[in-house]
Amino acid sequence: MGTADPDQGAGAAAEATTASPAASEAATTGEVKRDSNVVEEGLAARMEAWSKCDRKRSREARAILNEELYPFIQQKGFELPSSCPLSKQSDMYLDNELHKKEVRYANWKCTYCQKVFKSEHFLEQHFQNRHPYTVMRDAVCLGDYCELLECDLFRKPDEQKGAAYLAGRGRGICNPKQMQRRRHRCQSVVDTCFPPHHSNLANELHHHFEALYCAHLTCAEVGSEMRSVSPPDAMMASSARKGQGSKREAQRQNGWKKLYIVLGVLFGLLLVIFYLGVLLYRKDI
């Protein structure tokens, strides 16, 4: 039976010791690369979602939901399921909206980093460039549901087009297939948000919102300017938003009025100082 060479064993151990740090470093490098790839893929997914989701339309849809849907179901004590695309938790831009602050007469502040921008548009570009991870990857673009919510009715009267007009793409001719597609999609969303036969309250809300958002989506409604079904609750009155702009626009106008008042007061003070100076000068003469 042969005897193992001690020198050979020591050499093998030394090689193993030398190889171990190298292998560990390679494994660490591989993990870093994988993590980097995951981060890049996540960022790419968010950027793609941003490019497809219209912020303006999303704001219009959010404003309608804040006025018509959320207060009503809250009063009823109903909680939207997580699968409902209209739930607040699904809103792609909700966190961004919560980190906006209008300051100094139509300037906007990012409350993530406290930077101030001269318009809401530039603030939103800043969100996309500097705070991309504030948007969930699998969130819902509320702007995609403007067709259901009829966001155009939230605009000024001269900008409103009506559901049937939109179905005809501005030609005044209703497209039955397109209107049917919209109606089916609307009913699918209502079924998801208010599962029928789940409870008496869910059935009640399902019937109510189906009547509010879906029932009028037929070619028989060609030429209508508003949804024909009026909600039974004062909170739900869609007429409250007829002919009105957004509340934010009203706040912006109030900001300009305050600025004009301040400038007027300053101008008056300057005139008083000027005439006092003239009087003192003549008195000295």
- The residue type at 184: H
Domain positions in the chain are 141-252
For 97-116, write each residue's pLDDT tens digit: 999 999 988 899 999 999 99
**CA angle at 110 for the pair 104 and 114, rounded to the nearest 5°:** 85
d(CA 82, CA 136): 14
Is 0.85 topped by the overall pTM? no
Q: Classify residue 222 by burial, with Cβ atoms within 10 Å: 0-12, 13-18, 19+.
A: middle
At 69 the three-state DSSP class reads helix
> Mean pLDDT for the chain?
76
Q: How does pLDDT run across 256-277, given as a tens digit for each residue? A: 778 889 898 999 999 999 988 8
In this predicted structure, which of 18-32, 60-74, 141-155, 157-171 has the lowest mean pLDDT? 157-171
Q: Which pLDDT score, from 0 to 100, does residue 157 have? A: 53
Query: How far apart, in Å, are the Cα atoms of 69 and each of 84, 147, 149, 205?
Result: 13, 16, 10, 10
Is residue 107 exposed (0-12), middle (13-18) or buried (19+ Cβ within 10 Å)? Answer: middle
Residue 216 pLDDT > 70: yes
